[in-house]
A and B are shown apart, each in its own frame.
Chain A
């Protein structure tokens, strides 16, 4: 019991919270970026543009089928070969964005495709242009359907930030490892703290998604 009290000293908790802050920061930036990029890529796939969609689809498939750890290595070790120094934090964001936007692209494409063709035809028949129909009829419906899948992908992204310890991103997992590496009595308290902190962040997000789902359904 004593090890728990010692382990959660103010200094250690501050250090963990600093790590949590990096985790949240990296997650939020990557979520926003990968939602935008994933949306564009998903749309390109949906549009079935000649050649382009096929190429984009193939690249997406390549990325989706690789372990995220490899993507971290390719970005952090590979990109600077082009002549730009890229620090740990932006590398992590970039790697997560590349990986997750490939995952999101598939979700978004599937979401748009799940709206029956009749919706578009009906809207066009009522005088809307293709883009108006997309904007006001198809996308809002697709968005509602996609919420659960999108949010569970965002939760995966938050959890995946822990893999960035491999390139020394000073996030929550890494900070916990530093604490228990210096005093191995703190191993269990640190694992408890890790589980609680990750759970709180991820669960909060899934509660938010449930709330959103309910609200959009009522509308």
Chain B
């Protein structure tokens, strides 16, 4: 009996330690399954989306569903690519978690206010851009900060989100400012309201969404960068990428794209939705 238990324990603990070690050390990329054929087989796609970002992807407290432009785009793209009955599955991500989750195979694609950048292109592929954003600032009304240059003083704190491109940009545009990175946009906004920073920086679409609910805060300064959003797809998944691009083009041509833009951005004060229509 004692021997049996010993061997059971041996096998068990070996398994556990193997699991721990392999999960830590493994550098393997996602297995070379074709995400597109897989999607056709299951008639579904798994998208990484934001759940804390008004207008793009926000959790509705009443229904527990995520709603926003990114969500509608993901649904429309899925339908265009796989047919009417195809299902778009959503996994909530933050700017910090989205790339690791795509790379490790938990997601088929990311559609989560994600800017196409050269740095990111080294690790993931992007579709053509599906939305033209630009980085801007949100401040309390009456704040002395009018544009990004005003932030370039030592001791000035700027709030951003871990893993977002805007944090990298601010390091270039206002190198003297101290950047405070929080987990997501809900945290960032509450931190701004608690006076943890002089301004919150990210893309204008997101900021205008925040300003709608918080009339004491306003977006200042023109967009000082161009932030084209793209759908991120794993390297080597060219089939999936081509189909996303094709579906995107069709949506733009048919006018469905503009309808979605109007639905989400038509009534946002200060945001010229005609400018982003295609």
Contacts and interface: CB of A to CB of B under 8 A. Distances in A.
Contacts of B12: 40
Contacts, number: 118
A52 B26 contact: no
Nearest to A177: B186
A59 B23 CA distance: 14
Interface size class of A (residues with CB under 8 A): 35 or more
B106 A178 contact: no
B41 interface: no
B105 A11 contact: no
Interface string B41-75: 00000000001101000110110100000000000
Interface string A177-211: 11111111001000000000000000000000000
A75 B186 CA distance: 25
Contacts of A47: 6, 9
Contacts of A11: 61-62
B43 to A, nearest CB: 17
A181 to B, nearest CB: 3
B93 interface: yes
Nearest to B99: A77
Interface residues of B, number: 47
A161 to B, nearest CB: 16
B189 interface: yes
A82 B29 CA distance: 9
Contact of A178 (B6, B20, B61): B61
B268 interface: no
A56 to B, nearest CB: 5
A81 interface: yes
A215 interface: no
B52 A181 contact: yes
14 contacts: A15-B62, A52-B10, A55-B17, A77-B101, A80-B105, A80-B106, A98-B20, A131-B2, A167-B97, A168-B93, A177-B186, A177-B187, A179-B61, A181-B185
Interface of A: 11-12, 15, 18, 37, 40-41, 43-44, 47, 49, 52, 55-56, 59, 63, 74-83, 85-88, 98, 130-131, 165-168, 170, 177-184, 187
